[in-house]
Amino acid sequence: MVLTYHDIYYSADSWPKVDRENFFRQIHASLKPGVTLPVIDHAANVNTGMSAAQELHRIDEVFAIQDIESADFIFEGASEVLRYPDDNRMLGKL
pLDDT, tens digit, for every residue of 58-77? 999 999 999 999 999 999 99
In a domain, 10, yes or no: yes
The span from the CA of 92 to the CA of 6, in Å, is 12
Closest by Cα among 50, 54, 88 to 66: 50
What pLDDT shows up at residue 93? 56
In a domain, 51, yes or no: yes
Q: Which domain holds residue 14?
A: 5-69
In a domain, 24, yes or no: yes
**Number of independent structural domains in the chain:** 1
Predicted TM-score (pTM) of this structure: 0.87
In a domain, 87, yes or no: no
The span from the CA of 65 to the CA of 69, in Å, is 6
What pLDDT shows up at residue 12? 85
Closest by Cα among 83, 84, 76 to 34: 76
What pLDDT shows up at residue 94? 45
